Amino acid sequence: MLVTHQKVLRRFWYPVIPADRLTDAPAPFTLLGTKLVLFRDAAGKASALIDRCCHRTAKLSQGWLDSGNIVCPYHGWTYAGDGRCVRIPQRPGGDPGKGIAVEAFRCSERHGVVWVALEEPLRDIPDLPEYDDPAYRRVFEFYEPWQAPGLRIMENSFDNAHFAFVHKASFGIVDEPEPVQPRLEPHPAGFVMYADVPVKNPEIQKANLGIASDRTIRQYEKTWWMPFSRKMKVTYPNGLVHIIMTLTAPIDDRQSQVIQFLLRSDSEADAPAENLIKFDRQVTHEDMTILEACDHDVPLSMTVELHMPTDRPGLEMRRMLAKLLAEHGEAEVRRDGPVQQALASAAE
């Protein structure tokens, strides 16, 4: 599936930037191949406009903010957060007249993240009660592009069989490759998966978890936020809850922008944020190395790749996405074969 070619994917909310990183300067962001400029309007509301002035196509993200309006760097045409042109400096009094505007997109702020939907969203941004629960502290981890599509990142997150290999240096038990079978249940955001997985407990994790043994059990409750985000709730035998939010936005057919943060039921004194980030950095790098080497054109059809029982969550994602496309009258768009590709690139 080539995500920029599936129109219905424009109808979801995507996490584009941590809210505290969008301050007094415009930020460019590419979402599903559409170039956007993000900024805060006069009321402080996060806004997303097409990154292209309607006058001479200059990039608004190269401009600057003036009282919450964005100024094009080429001639100073100025736009409000809703896309309306509010000033054309070359005209008497700067009066822009009526009807001049650039395209504006739905933009919202939830769970400390700015979200954008390119077209009318099919569903709301899922709830995350632990974000506002004082029993949990928040630890920001990563904001970075991955050269991998969201679907690969998602199915990897729900795949119990990869730990023993990809994560053998961190928490996977290399001698026990037979995976725990997951249990799936429906959920309004997508689905939820349960599994109790034995893991290795290295020194850094002993301190991070307050668990002294060489092994422990992760009680997983993972929720897929269709299409490309997930909530991973881990409960450890000592009662500690460690929630990893991995929110991704599709930049284009190949790349994703990843936001990751934690919600933890302990305190900074129990486990310094720095050490939590250090361990998760190792784990995410292990995943990144593999996922960036996979084909970005993930087939929704079950017959293109080979499967095993623990692939079920990923297959369920594919099935649900295929159903979504069908419901909206779309066929899955895939890359042509290698010969057609070569011809097409030669013709360009």
Helix (H) or strand (E) holding 306: none
Q: For residues 54 and 283, which CB has a smaller minimum distance to another protein in the complex?
A: 54
Distance CA 2, CA 268 (A): 42
CB of 106 to another protein, least distance (A): 14
Residue type, 39: F
Name which of 63 and 126 has its Cβ closer to another protein: 63
Smaller CB separation from another protein, 2 or 241? 2
Which tokens sit at 269? 């004194």
Q: Which of 56/281 has CB closer to another protein?
A: 56
CB atoms within 10 A of CB 234: 18
Residue whose CB is less far from another protein, 27 or 101: 101
User: Is position 56 an interface residue for another protein (rule: CB under 8 A)?
Assistant: yes
Query: Minimal CA–CA distance to 246: which of 162, 186, 158?
Result: 158
| Residue 59 found at the interface with another protein (CB under 8 A) | yes
Per CB under 8 A, contacts with another protein among 306-325 are none
Q: Interface with another protein by CB under 8 A: which range of 57-65, 189-197, 237-245, 302-310?
A: 57-65
Q: Which of 6, 13, 26, 34 binds another protein (CB under 8 A)?
A: 34
Least distance to another protein from the beta carbon of 268, Å? 43
Burial per residue of 88-120, b for 16 or more beta-carbon CB atoms within 10 angstroms, e otherwise: beeeeeeebeeeebbebbebbebbbbbbbbbee
Separation of alpha carbons 69 and 83, rounded Å: 9
Least Å distance, CB 80 to another protein, is 15
Q: Are 66 and 78 in contact (CB under 8 A)?
A: yes
Q: What DSSP element (H or E) covers 320? A: helix 312-327
Structure tokens at 44: 């402080």
Distance CA(183)–CA(176), nearest Å, equals: 20
d(CA 275, CA 292): 25
x/- letters, 63..102, toward another protein (CB under 8 A): ---------xxxxx-----------xxxxx-x--x-xxxx
Interaction of residue 241 with another protein, rule CB under 8 A = no
The 101-120 contact track toward another protein, x by CB under 8 A, reads xxx-----------------
CB of 73 to another protein, least distance (A): 6
Q: Which residues bind another protein (CB under 8 A)?
A: 34-35, 50, 52, 54-59, 62, 72-76, 88-92, 94, 97, 99-103
